[in-house]
Structure 1
Amino acid sequence: MKLLGNIVWFILGGFISFLSWGILGILWSITIIGIPIGRQCFKFAKMSAAPFGKEIRFSDSGSSLLINIVWLFLGGFAIVIEEVAMGIVFCLTIVGIPFGMQHFKHAKLALLPVGSEIYRTR
Structure 2
Amino acid sequence: MKTDIGTARHFLPPNTPSEVCHAFNRSALTATIAARAVALGLTADLSDIQMAGLAQLVRDTKRSRPLSAETRAAVRAALRPALSSQDDPDQVAAAVFSSLPGTPLRVRDTGGREYFLVAVPA
Question: Do the two structures share a fold, i.e. TM-score over 0.5?
Answer: no
Considering fraction of residues, name the structure with more helix. Answer: 1
TM-score of the pair, normalised by structure 2: 0.28
TM score, norm. by length of structure 1 = 0.28
